[in-house]
Structure 1
Amino acid sequence: MNEKMIFDLFEFARNNTLKVAQGITEENADIIPNGYPNSLRWQLGHIYVAVEGIVFHFSNEIPNLPEGYMDLFKTGTKTTDWNATPPSIDELITLLSEQVNRVKETFAGRLEEKIANPFTMGTLKLETCGELLSYTSFHESEHIGIIKSLKNALKVEK
């Protein structure tokens, strides 16, 4: 596994997320257009939580999850069901930005390392730290497309 390429791919996806996050404000972050299950804020929080919950957790590292984040942003949650105040867009962007270096520092030299309990998603079975990171880059790219679509539906600039 080419470590540089895996880290570059992760950073490329994250830089794209941060780029498409431009124009998201507190005023438009929680609007849910017809046909969409969640908001722009949820998309950003979900991307962050997915990396912590998949890459860090399954690699037996301690995830950096502020209190309540799993309840707000894990798969299957909906903005309309929130009972707690969500983090600000600035907080989410800061966490997303900082996560890149944490991933690189934590997993440098470890991408071939086998994880104790493989992560399965449908027919996909991930067994190493690098495979987890590769999957979350793919996952993040899916959400980048959703963010772009949501911004288009909301007529958000940038």
Structure 2
Amino acid sequence: MNEKMLFDQFEFARNVTLKVAQGITEENADVLPAGAPNSLRWQLGHIYVSVEGMVFHFANETPNLPDGFMELFNTGTRPSEWKTNPPAIEEILPLLSEQVKRVKETFTGRLDEKIAQPLPIGPLKLETIGELLSFASFHESEHIGIIKSLKNSLKAE
């Protein structure tokens, strides 16, 4: 597996996420346009939690998950069901930013390492740390598109 390419793709996706996150404020972070199940804040928190839960957890590394993040941002959660106050956007963005460095530091030289339990996702069966990271980049790209759409719909209202 081409380590530099995979890390570069992950970092590229994250830099796009941070760029499209510009302009998200506390005032618009939780607005839910008609038909949208999740907010801008949820999208950003979910991207962070997904890398921790997918890459770090399945690579048998300790995820860095602040209190309440799983309950707020895990797959299947929705802001309409939150029972606690979510973290500020200013708390989530630095976590997203530093996560890239932690991924590189933790997994350099380990991308071909097999994980203990393969992770099935649809027709895929992720079996190495590199495959987890590759899927995390794809997953993040999906959410970048959703963030862009949500921001556009907020401008239209």
TM-score (norm 1): 0.98
Match of 2:21 in 1: 21
Specify the SS of the correspondent of 2:29: coil
| Pairs within 5 Å for 1:66-145 | 66-145=66-145
Match of 1:9 in 2: 9
Q: Matched residues in 2 for 1:54 and 1:155: separation?
A: 33
Q: State the shift of 1:122 in Å.
A: 1.1
Give the counterpart letter for 2:103 in structure 1: V
Give the fraction of aligned pairs with identical amino acids, expressed as a percent.
74
Give the counterpart letter for 1:105 in structure 2: E
Question: What do the CA deviations read for 1:107-140 (whole angstroms, capped 9, x no partner)?
Answer: 0000000000011111110000000000000000
Q: Matched residues in 2 for 1:28 and 1:148: separation?
A: 13
Q: Matched residues in 2 for 1:79 and 1:124: separation?
A: 29
Q: Which runs of 5+ in 2 are unaligned?
A: none
Specify the SS of the correspondent of 2:63: coil
Match of 1:37 in 2: 37
Q: Matched residues in 1 for 2:98 and 2:7: separation?
A: 14
Aligned residues: 156
Q: Matched residues in 1 for 2:99 and 2:58: separation?
A: 16
Match of 1:152 in 2: 152
Specify the SS of the correspondent of 2:32: coil
Q: Matched residues in 2 for 1:76 and 1:50: separation?
A: 12
Q: Matched residues in 1 for 2:119 and 2:10: separation?
A: 18
Match of 1:60 in 2: 60
Which structure 1 residue ranges, 4+ long, deviate > 6 Å from structure 2? Answer: none
Q: Matched residues in 1 for 2:74 and 2:146: separation?
A: 16
Give the counterpart letter for 1:122 in structure 2: G
